[in-house]
Amino acid sequence: MTHKRFHAAILIMFIAVQIIALDISNVAAGPARPGKAFEGEDTSAALLEYAGQIGGAAGGVDVLGGYAYLGVGPRLYILSITDLAHPSLTGKSPVLQGTINSVSIRGSYAYVTTGDTGLQVINVSNPAAPALAGSIDTPGIAYSVKTSGSFAYVADGPSGLRVINVANPASPVEVGAYDTAGGTYGVELSGSFAYLADGRGLQVVDVTSAISPTAAGLFLTTGGAFGVDVSGSYAYLADGGNGLRMIDITNPFSPTESSSYDTAGWSEGVFVSGNYAYVADGGSGLRVIDISNPITPQAIGQRDTEGWGRSVVVANGYAFLADVEGGLRIINVMTPTRPVEVSSYETPWIAEGISVAGKYAFGAFRYGGVRIVDVSVPTDPVLVGVSDTSDYASDIILNGGYAYVAYGAGGLHILSTTNITSPVDVGSYDTPGWAKSLAINGSFAYVADGSSGLNIINISSAAAPLSAAVFDTPDTASGVTVAGSYAYVADGNSGLRIVNVATPGAPVEAGSFNTPGFAGSVAIAGNHAYIADGGSGLRILNISNPASPTEVGYYDTPHYANDVLVTGRYALVADGNSGLRVIDVADPANPVEVGSYNTPGEARNITLMGDYIYLADNTGGMFIFRFNTPTGSRTQYLPMLSLDRPGFSITGRVTLNGNSFPGVVITTNNGMTAMSGNDGNYRLEGLETGSYLLTPSRTGYVFSPGTRTVAGSATGQDFTAALAPIVTPTPTQVPNRCTNVLANGGFESNTGWEITDTAFRAVYSTAEVHSGSRSLRAGITTPADNRYSYSSARQRVEIMEEADKAELGFWLYRVSGEGTNQTILLPPPGWELENTVLANDIQYVLVLNENRQMIDTLVWERSSRQDWEYYEFDLLGYSGMTIYLQFGVYNDGYGGVTSMYVDDVSLEVCPP
């Protein structure tokens, strides 16, 4: 994996999770009204039946005897490591109430922290069958745990240190607590003291009395303290962006820094053994630092890993690294200057899309590639194959011997599934935007390409896919479904766009409907479109007249609707932190929730095959549910997918002046299409028995013959192209003038800006305006809503290479409950900011490159002036480039809340 992110390795700690919340909901009669709770018999348990689960993000790790204990999503995996070159699964716990952040083994019990659901105690006396013994829900977010005597000491995020009596593992009881000023992420015990990685530094707590812990000493840092270990007279602090800090604790009441070493990555975990500190360094994997002289530490060894190094323990000359995306990595550190990975245990993290065919589920792995799972036994899914890439996989469709994958910045990739457990990349097309979702119809792939809109790609030649057309939607194309002659695009803040694709090479918008939320996914059933609308839940539109869709009903789901699938009378909604919701839409004007299952991760994507629902739960892995619907209450929502190519095919070649001629669309009389590739060849496949009229078309050309009639499979159905008469228009002189290249700089409409999908999203606001009726508000305004979150909006702009002037201007109105601070540490260029945990609330204006990586900071501070201020910047240095301008606020979840209003943004570009 070539890209590294400050991402879910930290973010999963903030996911609010509860599990198995089964309920029923109803909605009042009448069009376009929200759902209301329904009091009645709970039938959801019969409707949704948990079947199985696999994978998730790798959390904490501990080692004892011949076993490694690894947190994988919501389960504890016990791995035999008697043969270090071949670690093997011995047993795994039941699904817990949250995703695992840390693991600590003592005797016959594993103590694991699961975020919002606190501390879980697992009996591991039989490694083949670990069982939940007891649990306690802490008031904060449980990140890590250490035990001593009869007590477990839990780093509980915003609730500081919690002391739990575990003398009876079946009934743990909190007996004491110390609420720190920061956010407690890591804990280590030494003597009568607990040493806490407290976000903003090292907090030492005297735990002589477990019932009444008291503050001892404090040492503040600026990097973001996440992990801690103690050896001798020193505490070793994994301090995020500042690397490793060595703090002298000879006097625990007055700790002082001895030295530090700034690692290349993001230090999140540390384990000290002998003269060496082993650092789980985020995107840089494992770092080995010689601490024999605490005054002058030296980095002597490094081992990069597949993903994000999160926590590490060392035993018998081997480092065991929990690698968020890559599972468990076992690294020989007997020669610390040359760490060597000897083996790994891959854990499938299916974060995004899922497609199922036959006995296999293909999962899109957010941070690179595809995972193949055998689901022939739904109660026991098994990982059987991996296809790794360096790109961000967000959606996948299996069709006719190929897997089509939306790969973010990498566009569309086509994998051959001839060898089912080892698919091979046979072709790709790099779309101009960020490929989020896709649909396949005939010989075309329809890609929801983020800020670049809808990209239609000819896939008649898997080895050489070609762009047929690009339709630029107003906002962020996030989901797409094709039905009949229309592509239905979920376009973020601009709602649903209905695009006529009867001629794929010439798409035309037929109609639209601006939903109130962020349209991320769309499903079509009959005359209705069902839209997963982010924070606005499920929206239901009548699309019988594509030119004028109307909303007929909606259901406000509890969290954030990411995806929707419709089968018969049911809409299945992947609702973020509220898991899977089942909505009865038999009467679209009156949707009723009839079932739910609150998964431990973040529900992102749904697939239905036969009687089973497959849910991509982000850090929670993949869940499988049996859908026990009454006979006749649903139909299969899409054709049964196959790994083989169905029906018969028609092939031919198009030439111009005797040479191969690509880009010609061949259309059948029943609406199927194909496009000629670089070799001039086209292929129509999956056809049913019958007679077909083929018509070639490409703007500016005529063809001989004009049509062909074909019955059954056929080859050699060739066409010859010639230039059509050209009409030359009279050129219009354009005056030499400056242009504002930013759209909707006054935020008076819902267009132009991409509002990022975060825990607390930016919104258009009327609360504070500089001119007009609206502005953009980023950040949090109500203390009760305080949480860790970025909140931002960005717009993609191009500055002409020959520009003589490129001047950015904007107005800001800033508010913060944490006061003004103009000396906040700047991150280095290249950071993907919204995947980074920072130690302070920040208001920012950034310049990003095409990959959305930060390349410049225009504003990076915190202010509470509460008045409009004007800013102006010269961006001429970005001439000839495509950039993003991003306005936003970061809240760290502690102290006061911070917000910012933005208005009257312009980027004036002048030619020479």
CATH number at residue 404: 2.130.10.10
| pLDDT of amino acid 685 | 66
Is a pLDDT exceeding 50 seen at residue 458? yes
Going along 610-647, which residue ranges are E strands?
A: 612-616, 622-627
Q: Quick check: is 839 in a domain?
A: yes
Angle, CA of 144, 145 and 148, to the nearest 5°? 160
Amino acid at 100: I
For the segment 365-424, what is each residue's pLDDT rounded down to a tens digit? 766 678 889 998 999 999 888 887 666 788 999 887 788 999 888 899 999 887 888 888
Tokens coding 600: 């431990």
**Distance in angstroms (rounded) separating the CA atoms of residues 494 and 492:** 6
Mean pLDDT of 350-374: 81
Domain-ending residue, one of 345, 380, 396:
345
Q: Are residues 215 and 117 in the same domain?
A: yes
Of the chain, the percentage scoring pLDDT greater than 90 comes to: 57
β partners of residue 134: 121
Instruction: Name which of 295, 371, 340 is nearest 56 in CA terms.
Output: 371
Four-residue CA torsion sign, 337, 342, 345, 351: positive
pLDDT tens figures, 32-74: 323 222 222 333 447 899 999 999 999 899 999 999 999 999 9
pLDDT at 498 over 70: yes
Do residue 819 and residue 863 come from a single domain?
Answer: yes
Q: Are 393 and 333 in a shared domain?
A: no
Q: Comparing 114-123, 625-634, 652-661, 893-902, which segment has the lowest mean pLDDT?
A: 625-634
Candidates 152, 65, 136, 68; CA nearest to 98 is 136
Identify residue 289 by its one-letter amino acid code: I
List, as own/partner pairs, every contact residues 337-344 make where C-beta atoms lie below 8 angstroms and the sequence separation is at least 24, other chains included. Answer: 337/288, 337/300, 337/301, 338/301, 339/286, 339/288, 339/301, 339/302, 339/303, 340/303, 341/303, 341/305, 342/84, 342/85, 342/318, 343/84, 343/85, 343/86, 343/87, 344/87, 344/306
For residues 621 and 712, state if they share a domain: no
What mean pLDDT comes out for the span 297-318?
92
Residues 679 and 575 in one domain: no
> What's the domain count of the chain?
4
Asked if omega into 705 is within 30° of 0 (cis), the reply is yes
- For the segment 434-444, the average pLDDT, to the nearest whole number, is 91
Q: Is residue 118 part of a domain?
A: yes
Residue 241 pLDDT class (50, 70, 90 cuts): confident
**Distance, CA of 533 to CA of 560 (rounded, Å):** 8
Residue 639 pLDDT:
34
* 75-84, Cβ contacts within 8 angstroms, sequence gap of 24 or more: 75/100, 76/100, 76/103, 76/110, 76/112, 76/122, 76/124, 76/130, 77/345, 77/347, 78/124, 78/127, 78/128, 78/130, 79/328, 79/345, 80/127, 81/320, 81/330, 84/318, 84/330, 84/342, 84/343
In this predicted structure, what is the pLDDT of residue 343? 94
Q: Does residue 541 sit in the same domain as residue 603?
A: yes
DSSP state of 8: H
Lowest model confidence (mean pLDDT) among 463-477, 535-549, 581-595, 752-766: 752-766
Q: What are the phi and psi torsion angles at 9 (to 5°)?
A: -55, -35
Q: Say what the alpha-carbon torsion angle 568, 574, 579, 582 is, to the nearest 10 degrees.
A: -20
**Quick one: 422 exposed, middle or buried, by C-beta within 10 A (0-12, 13-18, 19+)?**
middle
Q: Is pLDDT above 70 for 726? A: no
Residue 513 lies inside a defined structural domain of this protein = yes
Burial category of 85 from C-beta neighbours within 10 Å (exposed 0-12, middle 13-18, buried 19 and up): exposed
**Which among 697, 723, 749 is the end of a domain?**
723
pLDDT at 881: 87
Give me the count of residues in the chain.
Answer: 912
CB count within 10 Å of CB 446 equals 27
Q: Which amino acid is at 870?
A: Y
What residue numbers bound the domain in which 807 lies? 739-910
Domain co-membership, 451 together with 590: yes
Per the structure block, which two tokens stand in for 694? Answer: 């083929």
The CATH number given to whatever domain includes residue 672 is: 2.60.40.10
Element (H, E) at 609: strand 605-609
pLDDT, greater one: 725 or 165: 165
Are residue 142 and residue 172 in the same domain, yes or no? yes
Is the residue at 17 inside a domain?
Answer: no
| pLDDT of the residue at 688 | 65
Task: Determine, yes or no, domain membership for 731.
Answer: no
Among 30-34, 94-98, 334-338, the least confident range: 30-34
In a domain, 38, yes or no: no
Q: What are the φ and ψ backbone dihedral angles of 14, each rounded to 5 degrees? A: -100, 0
843: Cβ–Cβ under 8 A, 6 or more apart, which residues?
Answer: 778, 779, 812, 814, 816, 859, 861, 862, 863, 888, 889, 898, 900
pLDDT value at position 176?
A: 96
CA-nearest of 99, 96, 61 to 81 is 61
Q: Which token pair is 564?
A: 């929707």
709/833 same-domain check: no
Phi-psi category of 222—alpha, beta or left, where left has phi over 0 and alpha has psi -120 to 50?
alpha
Is residue 642 included in any domain, yes or no?
A: no
If pLDDT is split at 50, 70 and 90, which confidence band does 636 have? very low
Contacts of residue 333, defined as CB under 8 A and 6 or more positions apart, other chains included, come to: 276, 278, 288, 301, 314, 317, 318, 319, 339
| Three-state DSSP string of 78-94 | EEECCCCCCCEEEEECC
- Is 32 contained in some domain? no
Two structure tokens written together for 706: 């004009």
Same domain, 663 and 791: no
Task: Provide the pairing of β-strand 719-723 with 648-656.
Answer: parallel
Answer with the one of 595, 627, 659 that is the final residue of a domain: 627
Helices (H), 413-495: none
* pLDDT (0 to 100) of residue 630: 64
Q: At 842, which CATH number?
A: 2.60.120.260
Q: Do both 547 and 666 map to the same domain?
A: no
C-alpha distance from residue 377 to each of 50, 382, 610, 673 (Å): 13, 9, 13, 38
Q: Do the beta carbons of residue 469 and residue 452 sit within 8 Å?
A: no
Q: For residue 506, how many other CB atoms are within 10 A of its CB?
A: 16
* 199 vs 218: CA distance, rounded Å: 12
* CB-CB neighbours of 800 under 10 Å: 16
For residue 238, which of 269, 265, 194, 263 has the smallest C-alpha distance? 269
Q: 233 and 186 in one domain?
A: yes
User: Running DSSP on this structure, what letter comes out for residue 477?
Assistant: B
What is the percent of the chain with per-residue pLDDT over 70, rounded to a whole number?
87
